Amino acid sequence: MPPAKKLRVALISLLSVIAVGTVGFHFLEGWAWVDSLYTSVITISTVGYGDFYPSHWETRLFVIVLIIFGVGVLFYTLGLFAEAMIEGRIRVIMGRGRLEKKIEKMNNHYVVCGCGRIGFLICKELHADKVDFVVIDDNPDVLQKCEEAGFVYIKGDATQDKTLIAAGIKRARGIICVLPTDAENLYVILTAKELNNKIYILSRSEEEESEHRLLRAGADRVMSPYTLGGMRMAMAILRPAMLDFIEITTRRQSLELRMEELSVCDGSSMIGQSLEDSEIRQKFGLIIVAVKKESGKMIFNPLANYVIEKGDKLIAMGEDDNVMRFSDVCLG
């Protein structure tokens, strides 16, 4: 039986014993209901009688039975309460220590500031891709949700230096600012850049005019959920087939077609080969729809004679299994 259910049953049993004792004293001794309740409680709690006591032998026999059952139920209930409190406290302490050790071992991870509706969706995608990340939030309900989802988290204010440092900001690869207000996101961006000037910063923007301020503060990319949502809804009306294609290629659970970004690392056998010589289409059944250079330049629909270089990010499209096979070769 689950601990919570055991405790609930014990409490109901204890209240039932007190109720039986109250009724018994009332009818056997003729005492008032309040006096009967009082006597029942002090009997079960083993405090004893000081001001009045049962005078009839039937009541005394009733008291013996009440003590045998009542005291046992009382101590059993108190034991369950103590166990729940001690175990809960130990679980919190051990859980916190375990999370802190995990964070200390993290390197080149992401820090997610805020785990509301958008933040939680981001965390789900990172978790599904097995990308290391730490969530920072101070809402107990949100943190409980993070724990249930298996996310690594820290309780605290993301605008505080000590909280970002505890999340490993100095070792992090990037930070995602999805706090409720632009002012909070702006403050986190400034603090993050001060603690780690090489970190990649992605920020949410609530107001259109805030985008430029966030970029000037040091954000590498600023996105507005409302703008993106509006554009997508407009596309559903104006270009529904195009939206279907985008959803199919970007949806994780899609087995038909998948689009993935793959970085060509040092040591990959593909470096120095042209797209035609690499036989990506023939061997893996994939289409390279774009290449992003280290400089940030994007080459769309590259020609067959394009030579793959170190640091290139290939945007490949094809079936999920083929993308996974190709990633092993592409990543060296």
- Which CATH number belongs to the domain containing residue 160 in this structure? 3.40.50.720
- 93 with 116, same domain: the answer is no
* Average pLDDT rounded to a whole number, residues 35-62: 78
N residues, the chain: 332
Residues 146 and 221 in one domain: yes
Considering the chain, what percentage of its residues have pLDDT values greater than 90? 22
How many domains does the chain divide into? 3
pLDDT at 95 over 60: no
In a domain, residue 294? The reply is: yes
To 10 degrees, what angle do helices 57-105 and 3-29 make? 160
What mean pLDDT comes out for the span 207-229? 88
Q: Does the pLDDT value for residue 92 go beyond 60?
A: no
Of 97, 131, 153, the residue that ends a domain is 97
In the structure encoding, which two tokens stand for residue 218, read together? 């040091």
Residue-wise pLDDT for 255-301, tens only, equals: 566 778 888 877 777 888 888 888 888 888 888 888 888 887 888 88
| Single residue among 54, 73, 97 that ends a domain in this structure | 97
Instruction: State the DSSP H helix or E strand holding residue 260, giving kind and residue range, or none if neither.
Output: strand 258-263
Residues spanned by the domain of 65: 3-97
State whether 90 and 112 are in the same domain.
no
User: How confident is the model at residue 323, as a pLDDT?
Assistant: 78
Bridge-based pairing state of the strands 313-318 and 258-263:
antiparallel
The answer to whether the beta carbons of residues 136 and 159 sit under 8 Å apart is no
> Residue 157: how many CA atoms within 13 Å on its side-chain side?
6
**Does residue 236 sit within a domain?**
no
- 111 with 79, same domain? no
pTM across the whole model: 0.60
Asked whether residue 275 is assigned to any structural domain, the reply reads: yes
Closest to 151 in 3D by CA, of 108, 177, 121, 171: 121
Q: Which of 47, 42, 203 is nearest to 114 (CA)?
A: 203
pLDDT digits (tens, 9 = 90+) for 32-47: 898 888 888 888 887 7
Same domain, 130 and 224: yes
